[in-house]
Amino acid sequence: MFDVMTSVAFNTDYRTMEEPRFRYVIEAIAKANIRLGVIMQLPELTLGHLDRSLFRESSAAGVRFVKFLRILLSKRLQNHSESKDIFSFLQQCKDPDTGEALSEMELSTETATFIVAGKSPILLL
């Protein structure tokens, strides 16, 4: 799913099924989600960065994931092709009140959402 989401959302193919180079991203998402899941239940752990001390491996994985996101976002922003991926749609979005485009931070947040959605298992009810 990671490969599918990166292809549909960013018109790029990491080919993680065939090549191991970017498989670390999938593992980093899973490890980072451990800390985030606990914080959602107990946000007080973020006081004094206690969460980072308790979940060192998870915290480090989160840093690796953010670095990957920054590289992905940077490359995609430099690519001015006429691709019809989800990211190109986001770049065209405007705030209805101000008419301003999404900021780089907002684009980064949406990028993370797409990638994590590609990593998350689909639950069939």
Spell out the residues 6+ positions from residue 102 whose beta carbon is closer than 8 angstroms to its own: 90, 91, 93, 110
pTM attached to this predicted model: 0.80
Please name which of 32, 39, 93 lies closest in space to residue 59, comparing C-alpha atoms. Answer: 32
**What's the pLDDT tens digit per position in 7-54?**
888 888 899 999 999 999 999 999 999 999 999 999 999 999 999 999
Share of the chain above pLDDT 70, in %: 92
